Structure formats: C-alpha cells, structure tokens
C-alpha cells in the first residue's frame, strides 16, 4: 500500500536557511552602521577638543610694542591630555612664516578662521595624527597680519575607543543574530505546525475512517485539504461500490440456485421411479456443491477485500460466538448434532467483527458438515495473557495424517473428505481472517478419541 514518495528539501529547512541568511545580513549591516557611527562620534569629540585647544592658543596671542607675543596657555594642552596619553604637537606661523613649534608639522591649507577651524588627518613621526588649523587676523604696526596655529594629536586614544566600540557592536551583532536564530526556529516551527497537525490527524486515522478533514487549517492549505477531501470521497465511493458489487453478485448467483434446488426437492417428492429419484438426488447434490462454492467464493472475496481495509472495533467475542451457535443450532439439530457451548464471561477483543463472524461461521459449518449423526461439537472460548482462543472439537473423521499445512490453501481439501460436499475454502477463509488480525489457525486431531480440533487464535492487542 505504501507508495514511494520523493522528498525534496524540507520547507522547514528552507525557511530556516532563508531567515538565518537575512538575519546574518542584517547583523552585518547593523555592525557596520553602528561602528561607523561610533567612529564618527569619536572623531567629532577629538575634533571638538582640538578646536577648543587651538582657539585658546590663538586667543592667548597678543601684540606688545609692535611685537607678537605667543604665550601658549597650559590649559590648551591639558585639555588634550585628558583624553589619554596621546602626544600633542603644535606649530604657529605668521603670514605663512614659521614662528614657533614643530617646524615640519604638516598643516592643512584649507581656508580657516578662528571660529571655523579646518581639520585633517595625516602622518607625523611615524604616527597617525589628527590636526586642526585655525587662523586669526591681527593688526601689527598698522599692518594686517595673519597668525595661523596648528595643533595635532596622535590618534591612539581614539583608536582604543574605536576598538572598544567595535567590540561592543560586534557583541551586539552576535546577540542580534542569536536572537534572530531563536525566533527563526520558532517561526519555522509554527509555520510547519498546521502541516504537521494535518499529516498527524490523517495518518492517525484507521483505514476505515473516511470522513473528510474538517479541522480548521490556514488559508494557504485550504486547496490541499480540499483535494484531499475529494480524494477521500472518491475512495469511499469506490469501496462501497466494491462491497455493493459483492453483495449484488451474491444475489444474482444465489437466487436462481435456490429456485432450482427447491424445485428439484419438490419434484423428488412426487417422483416414484428409483432411477429418476437418484438423478434428482444427484442434481440436488450438484446444486448444493455449486451454491456452497458460490457462497464461499463470495465470502472469500469479501474476506480478501476486507483484510485490506480492516474495520477494527471493540466487541465481545463471546456474544459473537453465542449468536452464531444459536443460529447454527437448528442446522446442527437436523443431524442430531449437539453444539456444546457455555457462554461464560465477556471477552472483549479488537477486530473486524464481520470478518471474524464469517471465519467462525465457516469453522462451525465445517465441523457440522464433517460430524457424524448424533455426535457432539464442543466449543470453548478462553483467554490467555496475549489472546483469545476459540477451540472447536468434533467427533468426525478428523484431518488426514498428511498435508495438514496445505488444508488452509485455497481449494485444497482433505484426502479423506471426498464423501462430503465442500469447496475447500472454509479453512482458507478462517486462516486469512486470523492472519489479518495477527492471529493464527491451528489444525490438529484430538489427542483422545476421534475427531478434529481447530484452534482459532486472535491476539488481544
């Protein structure tokens, strides 16, 4: 029954891979943005101090007796020193002529005033530096004069700050990714959830449960469930058609046979000549044989059909046997056969009641058929730890010594059964039913006395 299903990559894995990739990209972008923002912030704070420093240097320049006095205030450098142990350089020039400080310190030639200093990044003495240049106009000997001051600072402190920021941002990115990962798994799980529940609810059903799926599903799954329900509907229809067909076939075959048999019997009552009577008897026997065969073929077809679709329910095995015994007792009495049966305690089993009834009926039928007149058939129903055991013991001819195991094959009859009408399907049906329920049929001859002993075993499960 299980067809092969080709599986492509799972939806869950696809979802997870895609969501995780998006989360990783987002985390990297977050990292870069925050890092550059941090760098910008660090830069700005250094620049602000540099600007304050250069302003205070320029402010301290005074003119006395026509000479320029540069007195660099301590605070101009101390404010820079606050940041870290970075080195500080300066250079002051007047009208583009070097005045004091580090003569070879680079400076920016961008336009600058006192209030609007110009910034630049450069190298000096093998270190990265950030420098600021600002200029101030003075009147010297009634001549306009431009004083330009440049202050530079190495960037070790800023780099350290940047490293700290980067580290924090890296942790932030990793944290973001970790949270995204958890959410991704959760999202994938809850997306797959309805699919899983649908699959579980369909596979948990017994094969006979052909109700449509009615539990609510997400709108995306509605087309799938709708086609599943249509499929279930078609299956149900074809199953019931098969059963109808078997029943209809039974009707078609059996009714004319019943008519012919009845008429032959009536004729037999009226006919006097012995050879005619013998012919009629032969006819009735032939009809019996074919009607029995037809009946058992249909039983067998029904059994074969149903073993694929076991309709499992819980029922009392004892009640089933009791009803069969009650029904078959008039038939047994025709041969003065005593059906010995004690109803006993309830014995609940799980199985297809129709199949089990069919099997047990065939077994009792068989026993009646092969029993001599005025004998008895003993039925006992018992239970051991694992199963229910129905035992039938008759006082008939028993099974032949050879070929025991073949008797449950189709159309095989015992070597000693030629005198009795039969199709050779009764034991096959019982055996098939027992096997379909995980049980077995055991055939043996009674240890004491004559007769056959049949054990029909069904596990309790």
Name which position in 13, 137, 335, 340 contacts another protein (CB under 8 A). Answer: 335
243 binds another protein (CB under 8 A): yes
As measured in angstroms, the least distance from the Cβ of 213 to another protein is 26
As measured in angstroms, the least distance from the Cβ of 360 to another protein is 11
Q: In what order do the strands lie in the sheet with 376-383?
A: 338-341, 376-383, 387-393, 452-459, 440-445
Residue 372 CB-half CA count within 13 A:
7
Q: CA 224, 229, 231, 236: dihedral to nearest 10 degrees?
A: 170
Name which position in 110, 258, 406, 415 contacts another protein (CB under 8 A). Answer: 258
- Across the strands, what pairs with 459? 387
Cβ-Cβ contacts under 8 Å for 88 (sequence gap 6 or more): 77, 80, 81, 151, 152, 153
The torsion angles phi and psi of 389, rounded to 5 degrees, stand at -120, 115
Binding segment (CB under 8 A) for another protein, from list 13-21, 91-99, 152-160, 249-257: 249-257
The torsion angles phi and psi of 179, rounded to 5 degrees, stand at -65, -40
340 binds another protein (CB under 8 A): no
Site string for another protein, 414-443 (x = CB under 8 A): -----xxx----------------------
Tokens 């149903």 appear where?
306
Structure tokens at 77: 């450098």
Window 176 to 195, contacts with another protein (CB under 8 A)? none
The smaller minimum CB distance to another protein, of residues 230 and 255, is found at: 255
Structure tokens at 138: 């003075």
Window 380 to 419, contacts with another protein (CB under 8 A)? 419
The smaller minimum CB distance to another protein, of residues 87 and 277, is found at: 277
The smaller minimum CB distance to another protein, of residues 293 and 455, is found at: 293
Contact 338, 377 (CB under 8 A): yes
Window 143 to 162, contacts with another protein (CB under 8 A)? none
Name which position in 39, 261, 350, 410 contacts another protein (CB under 8 A). Answer: 261
- Across the strands, what pairs with 138? 145
Q: How many residues bind another protein (CB under 8 A)?
A: 47
State the sign of the Cα–Cα–Cα–Cα dihedral 331, 333, 334, 337.
positive
Name which position in 183, 202, 235, 334 contacts another protein (CB under 8 A). Answer: 334
Indicate left, alpha or beta for 65 from its phi (over 0: left) and psi (-120 to 50: alpha): left
Q: Pairing relation of β-strands 338-341 and 376-383?
A: parallel
Window 343 to 372, contacts with another protein (CB under 8 A)? 353-354, 357-358, 369
Of residues 338, 351, 367, 340, the one with CA closest to residue 433: 351
Site string for another protein, 294-333 (x = CB under 8 A): -x--xx--x------------------------x-xxx-x
**Residues within the interface to another protein (CB under 8 A):** 243, 246-247, 250-251, 254-259, 261-263, 265-266, 268-269, 274, 277, 281, 284-285, 287-288, 291, 295, 298-299, 302, 327, 329-331, 333-336, 353-354, 357-358, 369, 373, 419-421
């Amino acid at each position: 029954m299980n067809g092969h299903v080709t599986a492509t990559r799972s939806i869950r894995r696809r979802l997870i891979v895609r969501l995780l990739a998006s989360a990783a990209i987002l985390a990297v972008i977050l990292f870069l943005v925050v890092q550059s923002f941090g760098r910008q912030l660090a830069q700005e704070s250094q620049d602000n101090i540099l600007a304050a420093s250069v302003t205070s240097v320029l402010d301290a320049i005074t003119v006395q007796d026509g000479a320029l006095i540069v007195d660099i205030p301590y605070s101009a450098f101390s404010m820079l020193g606050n940041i870290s142990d970075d080195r500080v350089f300066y250079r002051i020039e007047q009208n583009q002529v070097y005045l004091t400080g580090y003569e070879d310190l680079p400076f920016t030639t961008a336009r600058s005033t006192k209030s609007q200093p110009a910034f630049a990044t450069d190298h000096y003495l093998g270190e990265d530096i950030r420098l600021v240049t600002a200029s101030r106009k003075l009147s010297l000997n009634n001549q306009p004069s431009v004083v330009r001051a440049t202050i530079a600072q190495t960037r070790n402190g800023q780099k350290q700050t940047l490293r700290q920021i980067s580290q924090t941002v890296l942790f932030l990115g990793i944290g973001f990714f970790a949270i995204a990962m958890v959410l991704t798994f959760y999202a994938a799980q809850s997306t797959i959830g309805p699919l899983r529940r649908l699959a579980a609810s369909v596979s948990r059903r017994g094969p006979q449960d052909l109700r449509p799926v009615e539990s609510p599903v997400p709108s995306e799954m509605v087309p799938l469930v709708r086609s599943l329900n249509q499929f279930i509907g078609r299956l149900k229809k074809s199953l019931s058609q098969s059963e109808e067909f078997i029943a209809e076939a039974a009707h078609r075959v059996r009714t004319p046979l019943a008519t012919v048999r009845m008429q032959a019997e009536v004729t037999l009552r009226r006919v006097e000549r012995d050879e005619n009577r013998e012919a009629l008897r032969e006819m009735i026997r032939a009809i019996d044989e074919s009607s029995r065969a037809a009946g058992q073929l249909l039983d067998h077809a029904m059994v074969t059909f149903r073993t694929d679709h076991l309709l499992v329910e819980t029922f009392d095995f004892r009640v089933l046997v009791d009803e069969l015994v009650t029904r078959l007792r008039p038939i047994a009495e025709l041969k003065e056969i005593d059906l010995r049966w004690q109803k006993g305690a309830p014995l609940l089993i799980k199985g297809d009641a129709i199949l089990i009834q069919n099997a047990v009926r065939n077994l009792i039928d068989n026993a009646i058929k092969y029993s001599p007149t005025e004998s008895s058939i003993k039925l006992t129903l018992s239970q051991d730890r694992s199963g229910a055991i129905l035992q039938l013991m008759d006082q008939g001819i028993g099974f032949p010594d050879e070929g025991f195991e073949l008797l449950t094959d189709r159309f095989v009859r015992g070597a000693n059964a030629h005198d009795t009408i039969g199709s050779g399907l009764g034991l096959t049906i019982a055996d098939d039913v027992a096997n379909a329920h995980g049980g077995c049929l055991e055939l043996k001859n009674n240890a004491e006395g004559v007769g056959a002993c049949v054990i029909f075993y069904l596990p309790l499960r």
